[in-house]
Structure 1
Amino acid sequence: MIKPCMQRRFVAVAAVLGWAGLSIQMYLILYSRWTLEASLVGGLMSFFSYFTVLSNTLVATVLTCAWTSRDSAARRWFLQPWVSSGVAVSIAVVGLAYSILLRHLWHPEGWQWIADELLHDVMPLLYFGYWWCCVAKGALRVRHIGLWLIYPLAYFAYVLLRGHLLAVYPYPFADVSKLGYPQVFINAGGLLTGFVLIALVLIGLDRWLVKAGNQRSL
């Protein structure tokens, strides 16, 4: 069992790294837009159009709520086990989808490499460690998967709408202009299937950890 003081330090470091990765990535996008004399507002819209950024923002928010002690309705909501666990599923999808589908498409260097590693590799692992050690177990049910799916489904609808209006897509597997709607929906179905499978694994781990804890207490 990890001591509370060690847990707090771990959560603090993870939260700082989460916000650092997001800050670096935002700076790089805005700086690129500035050098091209393009709209910075457009840069912000581009920044928040990525599932990676949105999911890492949720991760950093949950970790910050766990780190701080000031009570609020938002803090209580994010620290509910089913909410924190839903964020765990989303960030796991980020890490696995990037490694399987996107990592080979580019080779970032310098600060972009640091941001890339933080957002796609480091934070998924740190957040899983937080979920394993700090999130209360035993509250997850299969029905929670339906609630967790609202986020990726809403994101997919946003991507299609934004792409239709601006002809810009954040990910190549969602590029309707190149792949067409049938293939994009097939790709999305595959990702959603992966999301559900990861969710089922997480629920299974939740139940296993409860049983393991009960056996140790006997």
Structure 2
Amino acid sequence: MHTNQSMKEKTFRIIAFLFGLTTLAAQFVIMMKGAEGTEIITRVVRFFSFMTILTNILVALAYILPLSSPSSKTGKFFAKPDTQSAILVYISIVSLGYHFLLAKIWNPQGLQYWVDKSLHYAVPAIYLLFYLLFVKKGTLAYNNIYKWLLYPFMYLVYAITRGLITNDYPYPFLDFSKHDASRVFTIITVLFIGYIAVSLLIVLYDRVYRKKI
């Protein structure tokens, strides 16, 4: 039975990784279309400046590294329930943040429509299923939440700093040139409340699961 479960997990990881990688590659191709000269560098930097892209990359790494390099430091890191739970928090907020803050303000067409839905809805849903089925439960503590906030905090510092320097913000709700600082910081506060709330739910689920064992 253990062997069958292991094979199911490996198969799930590979299929989910390939789906995520294909989606990321498609988004990269769309963003790079028509770029020439120094514009290529600018667009590559912009591509990797989206929380959506960075978090989808984390999800892909969480699938493949424990499978391809289980003995490496990175493989072991991404295999930890703590790490996998943190990534669930991040990809959940990517999905929720997009749905409530961004989905209504633009209308992607064609391939971009499908890529957009995959990055923000399909990948999070698949990762949630992976988490429920295969990630070891009963190991988390509430103090995990503090370090989980480091990733969004570091991203926020980067995104705002880059935006202030280049006037190119990855997300419109962070744009200080278009919104009052109070509005920007209000949205940031709501997002961090979201991070904490989702984190609490995941840790609570983990602790309840542990009591049932």
What is the TM-score normalised by the length of structure 1? Answer: 0.91
2:131 aligns to what?
131
- Whole-Å Cα distance in 1 between the matches of residues 172 and 183 of structure 2? 11
Instruction: State yes or no: 1:42 paired with 2:42.
Output: yes
Q: CA RMSD in A?
A: 1.6
CA shift, 1:118, in A, is 1.4
Task: Give CA-to-partner distance per residue, 1:139-188, whole Å, 9 cap, x none.
Answer: 11111111010011111111111011101111111111011322211110
In 2, Cα distance between equivalents of 1:61 and 1:173: 28
Match of 1:4 among 3, 6, 13: 6
> CA offset at residue 38 of structure 1?
5.7
1:201 aligns with 2:201: yes
Give the deviation of 1:69 after TM superposition. Answer: 5.2
Shift of 1:70: 4.7
Partner-residue secondary structure (3-state), 1:25: helix
Give the match's secondary structure for 2:33.
helix
Percent same amino acid at aligned positions? 31
TM-aligned CA deviation for residue 32 of structure 1: 4.1
Deviation at 1:210, TM superposition (A): 2.3
Task: Give the 5 Å matches for 1:144-155.
Answer: 144-155=144-155
Aligned residues: 211
Which amino acid letter does the alignment assign opposite residue 176 of structure 2?
A: V
The offset of 1:17, in angstroms, is 0.8
Q: Which runs of 4+ in 1 moved over 2 A?
A: 1-4, 66-71, 208-212
8 Å CA contact retained: 1:89, 1:199: yes
Contact 2:66 2:76 in 1 (8 A): no
Would you say the 8 A contact 2:78–2:84 is kept in 1?
yes
Give the corresponding residue for 2:32.
Answer: 30
Aligned residue for 1:105, secondary structure, equals coil
Q: Give the TM-score taking structure 2 as reference length.
A: 0.93
Determine if contact 2:20/2:60 at 8 Å carries over to the other structure.
yes
SS in 2 for 1:177: coil
| Contact 1:11/1:66 (<8 A) preserved | no
Question: Which stretches in structure 1 are left out of the alignment for 5+ residues?
Answer: none
Distance across 2 between alignment mates of 1:210 and 1:97: 30
My pick for the range that moved more, 51-60 or 100-109, is: 100-109
Distance 2:23 2:52 in 1: 11
AA in 1 matched with 2:46: S
- Using the TM superposition, name which of 89-98 and 112-121 deviates more: 112-121
3-state DSSP of counterpart to 2:35: helix
**Secondary structure of residue in 2 paired with 1:106:** coil
Residue 65 of structure 1 is matched in structure 2 by: 65
Amino acid corresponding to residue 57 of structure 1 in structure 2: I
